[in-house]
């Protein structure tokens, strides 16, 4: 909490998706719970499989992941896909800042969250015809 003018001046230097001290302390406690960590790994693997299956069904290229996200190639401007999803309540990250202007970084969520994102992407793919000659 701070004065609005101070917040506006500090905000540009803030990392996206930054983590506060409280969240850092909770993370340290969570690391001590190995059963929780294993459950999270299992759930993440299930979520990745959801996206792998979806990408294979839709013939979308993707990069296999060891993390809690997947990088999907859409054969068109990633910002267009990003905006479409954002307007429907889903946040992904455009690959443009990583040098991949036609790809999105999608975070793995719960089964239900993944289904929602996948359905939104399917709707996008059905509504927008992608050029077939785009490169990865």
- Tens digit of pLDDT for each residue in 82-127? 999 999 999 999 999 889 999 999 999 999 999 999 999 999 999 8
Cα–Cα dist 54/115, whole Å = 10
pTM: 0.75
Write the CATH number for 57. 3.90.1150.10
29 falls within a domain: yes
Question: What is the domain range of residue 64?
Answer: 20-127
115 falls within a domain: yes
8 falls within a domain: no
**Domains in the chain, number:** 1
Task: Indicate the pLDDT class of residue 136, thresholds 50, 70 and 90.
Answer: very low
1 falls within a domain: no
9 falls within a domain: no
């Amino acid at each position: 909490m701070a004065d609005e003018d101070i917040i506006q001046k500090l905000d540009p230097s803030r990392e996206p998706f930054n983590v506060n001290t409280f969240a850092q302390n909770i993370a340290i406690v969570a690391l001590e719970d190995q059963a929780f960590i294993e459950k999270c790994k299992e759930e993440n693997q299930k979520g990745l499989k959801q996206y792998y299956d979806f990408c294979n069904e839709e013939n979308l290229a993707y990069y296999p992941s060891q993390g809690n996200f997947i990088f999907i190639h859409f054969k068109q401007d990633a910002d267009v896909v990003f905006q479409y999803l954002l307007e429907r309540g889903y946040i992904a990250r455009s690959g443009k800042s990583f040098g991949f202007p036609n790809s999105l970084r999608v975070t793995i969520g719960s089964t239900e969250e993944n289904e929602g994102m996948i359905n939104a992407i399917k709707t996008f793919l059905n509504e927008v015809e992608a050029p077939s000659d785009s490169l990865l």
